[in-house]
Amino acid sequence: MKYSKIDSRLFVKNRQRFSKQLKPNSIAIFNANDVMPTSADGNHPFVQQTDTFYLSGIDQEETVLVICPDAPDRKQREILFVRETNEQIATWEGYKFTKAEAQEISGIQTVHWTNELNTILRPLIIESEHIYLNTNEHLRAPDMVETRDMRFLKWCRQTFPLHHYERVAPIMNRLRAVKSPAEIELIKTACGITEKAFRRLLGFIKPGVWEYEIEAEIVHEFMRNRSRGPAYETIVASGIDACTLHYVKNDKQCQKGDLVLIDFGAEFANYAADVTRTLPVNGKFSKRQKEVYNAVLKIQKAAIKLLKPGNTLEKYQDAVVKLMQAELIRLGVLKKADVKKQPKDAPLYKTFFPHGTSHHLGLDVHDYGDRHRKFASGMVFTCEPGIYIRDEAIGVRIENNILITSKGQVDLTKSIPREAEEIEDLMNK
> Catalytic positions, please?
41, 246, 263, 274, 355, 359, 366, 384, 388, 397, 399
Rounded CA-CA distance 94/254 in Å is 41
Closest CA to 167 of 141, 135, 121: 135
Contact between 176 and 54 (Cβ < 8 Å)? yes
For 81, other C-beta atoms within 10 Å of its C-beta total 25
Rounded CA-CA distance 341/347 in Å is 10
Contact between 228 and 2 (Cβ < 8 Å)? yes
Please report the DSSP string for 157-203 in residue order: HHHSTTSEEEESHHHHHHHHHS--HHHHHHHHHHHHHHHHHHHHHHT
Q: Would you call 218 helix, strand, or coil by DSSP?
A: helix
- The 10 Å CB-count burial string (b at 16+, else e) for 96-131 is bbeeebbbebbbbebbbebeebeeebeebbeebeeb
For 146, other C-beta atoms within 10 Å of its C-beta total 10
Give the β-pairing of 164-167 and 130-133. parallel
Torsion sign (Cα): 414, 420, 425, 426: positive
For the chain, give the number of residues: 429
User: Which residues of 12-134 form beta strands (DSSP E)?
Assistant: 26-31, 64-67, 78-82, 110-113, 130-133
Contact between 186 and 261 (Cβ < 8 Å)? no
